[in-house]
Structure 1
Amino acid sequence: MRILYVEDNCELRDTIGLLMEGEGRTVVTCATAEEALQRDAAQPHDVVVSDVSLPGMSGLDLCRHLLASNPQRWVVLCSGYPLEHGVGTLGPHVRSLLKPFELEELEELLDVIASHLQSASPA
C-alpha cells in the first residue's frame, strides 16, 4: 500500500512517516498540499493521510481536489479540532483522526483501508 503523508510540522512528518512504514507499506512524505498534488499526479497513492491545517491549500481542499478526480479515493484527515460537518459528506472513503491521536488508532485505520483495497483489487 502506497501512503502519501502530508504534514507541515517537520518533526511529526518524519516521526509519523517512519512509524507508518511496515510490511507491504511505503510512505512518501511532503509538507504542503500543493506538493502532495504534484507527487500524487506523478504516481497515485492508495491513501493520502493529511493534516487539515497546512500552509497554502488546506488538507480539506486537498481532499476535495483528490476526490474530484476520483470519488473513491481513500483520504484520512488529521485535525486538532473535530471536523464540523463530519467527513462522511466528503466521500465514502474519507476518515478523520483527532489530534493528538494514538499510533494504534492510525495503525487500525490503515489496516482497515488495506483490507478494503485488497478486497477491491482484481484477483
Structure 2
Amino acid sequence: MSAPGKSAPTVSTYDWSASTLGNPATWPQPLRIAAELMFNTPLPMLLLWGPQSILLCNEAYGALAGPAYGRVPGGSQPAVMPPPLQAGQEGAARAWRGEAVQMPAVTLHFGAASQGQYDLHFTPLLNDGAVAGLLCALAPASAAEAAPAAAEEIGTLSVLVVEDNLDSQYLVCEMLKAFGYEADGVAHPDDALARLAAQRYHVLFTDVSLPGMSGVDLAREAMRLYPHLKVIFASGYGDMLLKHLDFPYQSLQKPYELDQLQNALNQVGNQLRAGA
C-alpha cells in the first residue's frame, strides 16, 4: 500500500521506448488496465502478453526476484521463463485456455540462496473475446492458511460488481477473487437486481453511471429490498451525485487504486464482524 501522499507507480512512470511494447498509448485497453492494476498492487505480480509472450512485472516482483530477473518492469520476450511461470506451468496453461486458477503452496527458487512457498493466482486477460495474456500474482502461502480464521464469523465476503465496461468488470472481479473474495460481475442494473434476488451478497460495488438506471438509483432500490447490503460507489463525478442519500455508503473516485477498494472492503468486513 502506498504511504499517504505518495503516488503509486503507473504505466506512465516507466520509459517504454526501448521495449517491445512501445508507446503505451498504442496498447490494447485490456493490457493497459491490467498493467495499471499490476503496478499498483503490493503483491509481486507478472503479466504475460501476446503470442510473443512479452513479460512485464511490478516492482514488488523485481525486488523478490533480484538481479535474476533483470530490469523492471520488462516489456520484452524473456530468454528464460521466470520461476512462477516455470513452476506453475499447469496453472498458466489453464489460464491461457480461459480459466482463472489458484495453485496453493508452490515452492519457487529465485536463486541458490532464495526460495519460498507462494500461492500462485493466474488470471486470463481477454481482448476482443479471446485470451491475449495472463496475470500471475504471488501471495505468501501462509496467507491462505490465515484467511479462514479471519473470516469465520461472516464467511468469505461476497461482492456484486456492476460495471458496464466489460474489460474493467472482468479484471476487477478476477483481482477480487485473487485476494480471497467471492465476486460476480454484471453490466446492467436489471441484471444486478436479478442477481441480488437469486443470491445473497454482502457488498454492492457499483459504478454511478450505468445504462438504463443510475448506480445511485440501483443502490437505493437494492437497499430497499435487501437492507443488509453494504454499498460502495465508483464515480468519475466525485460525490456530487451522492449527496442526500438516506443510507450509508462508501465511494471511490475513478480512477481508484486497488488498495483503496481493499480498504473499503476491509471496513465492510469489520462492520459485519462487529455486527455479528
Alpha-carbon distance between aligned partners in 1 of 2:246 and 2:172, rounded to the nearest angstrom: 25
Q: Establish whether residue 64 from structure 1 lines up as the match of residue 217 from structure 2.
A: no
8 Å Cα contact 2:201-2:229 kept in structure 1? no
**Match for 2:258 among 84, 98, 103?**
103
Q: Whose strand proportion is higher, 1 or 2?
A: 2
Aligned to 1:49: 205
Question: What's the CA shift for 1:87?
Answer: 5.3
Higher RCO (CA-CA < 8 Å; seq separation 6+): 1
Alpha-carbon distance between aligned partners in 2 of 1:8 and 1:96, rounded to the nearest angstrom: 18
- Map 1:1-123; keep pairs closer than 5 Å: 1-21=157-177, 22-23=179-180, 25-84=181-240, 86=242, 89-92=245-248, 94-121=249-276
Alpha-carbon distance between aligned partners in 2 of 1:34 and 1:60, rounded to the nearest angstrom: 13
Uncovered stretches (5+) of structure 2, i.e. residues with no partner: 1-156
User: Deviation string for 1:70-115 (max 9, x for gaps)?
Assistant: 44420111110112264573312x1111100011100111111111
8 Å Cα contact 2:202-2:228 kept in structure 1? no
8 Å Cα contact 2:216-2:242 kept in structure 1? no
Alpha-carbon distance between aligned partners in 1 of 2:229 and 2:185, rounded to the nearest angstrom: 18
User: Deviation string for 1:29-71 (max 9, x for gaps)?
Assistant: 1111110000011112100000011111111110110122244
Q: Whose helix proportion is higher, 1 or 2?
A: 1
Uncovered stretches (5+) of structure 1, i.e. residues with no partner: none
Based on CA coordinates, which of the two structures has the bigger radius of gyration? 2
TM-score of the two chains, using structure 1 as the length reference: 0.88
8 Å Cα contact 2:160-2:183 kept in structure 1? yes
What is the percent sequence identity of the aligned residues? 34
